Amino acid sequence: MTSDLMTPSTTTAAERPARSAGSLLLPIAGGALIAGSLLYVAGMATSPPADSMADADYIASLARDPGQTALSALLLHYGNMALGLAWLAVPTLVRGVKGRIPTIVGALMSAIGLVTVAGFVLYDFWTGGIGRELDAGTAEALFGTVNADPGLAVVGIVTVLGLVGPLIGYIGLARAGVTSWWLVVPVVASLAASAAMEFQPLTFAAFALVGAIPAVVVGLRIIGRRKAEEAVAV
């Protein structure tokens, strides 16, 4: 009798549905969204300053200090990579139909664009290398020849997705009621300020820090979603 009464509860416990392995990646994705944003800010802050954005000055800036160039390039590389991969988890925050499409589209655009930027920024090692190994005129001519390659132009266009994608994604999250509309403001403000000014490492790092606010908020929401699902499962 006692054994029969205990059997159902034991069976229920054994048959309780386990959480998917994919759900275990949610806190990692949320953390990557936050960490990637901070790495990107640090990469911008450590970027070698240039007298102007003319090819000759840009090459000279990357050739001047190999250590600083490497530090900045690696921070930007892994920051963009972490952000790009983490964006694939952002649509998990949307439960209903409203806002689903722009969130998914924005996430895919962000992932493709930011991962492309992650690869593109490693180009700095080559640029700094030719600036050190070749005379200024030859380095500038070679840099111009490579930049004129149609394939590289395609890569440059794809990187734009890394700027537009997050904005579309945040709009989708706001429409879905996951976040507030005010989170769109820092993204627009940082993009507009960056487009209106010449590049300066610390100034653009400040713009990136402002633009990182939504990513940090969304990253925390993703981590919170995982904790909420754990509480329900228990």
pLDDT at 25: 85
Residue at token pair 């003319």: 54
Does residue 182 belong to any structural domain of this protein?
A: yes
pLDDT at 227: 59
pLDDT at 47: 96
Please write the tens of the pLDDT for every residue from 75-115: 999 999 999 999 999 999 999 899 999 999 999 999 999 99
Does residue 10 belong to any structural domain of this protein?
A: no
Q: Which of 69, 166, 162, 167 is nearest to 116 (CA)?
A: 162
Residue 122 reports pLDDT greater than 50: yes
Please write the tens of the pLDDT for every residue from 56-86: 999 999 999 999 999 999 999 999 999 999 9
- Cβ atoms 72, 128 nearer than 8 A: no
pLDDT at 231: 53
Rounded distance between C-alpha atoms, residue 232 and residue 33, angstroms:
25
Q: What does pTM read for this prediction?
A: 0.87
Does residue 43 belong to any structural domain of this protein?
A: yes
- Cβ atoms 186, 210 nearer than 8 A: yes
Does residue 201 belong to any structural domain of this protein?
A: yes
Q: Residue 99 sits in which domain range? A: 24-233
- Average pLDDT over the chain, rounded to an integer: 89
Please write the tens of the pLDDT for every residue from 28-44: 999 999 999 999 999 99
Does residue 7 belong to any structural domain of this protein?
A: no
Does residue 3 belong to any structural domain of this protein?
A: no
The domain total for the chain is 1
Rounded distance between C-alpha atoms, residue 60 and residue 49, angstroms:
10
Q: State percent of the chain over pLDDT 70.
A: 87
Instruction: Provide the terminal-to-terminal Cα distance of the chain, rounded to the nearest Å.
Output: 29
10 Å CB burial of residue 58 (0-12, 13-18, 19+) is buried
Does residue 4 belong to any structural domain of this protein?
A: no
Does residue 169 belong to any structural domain of this protein?
A: yes
User: 18 versus 146: which is more confidently predicted?
Assistant: 146
Residue 7 reports pLDDT greater than 60: no
Please write the tens of the pLDDT for every residue from 184-231: 999 999 999 999 998 899 999 999 999 999 999 999 999 987 556 555
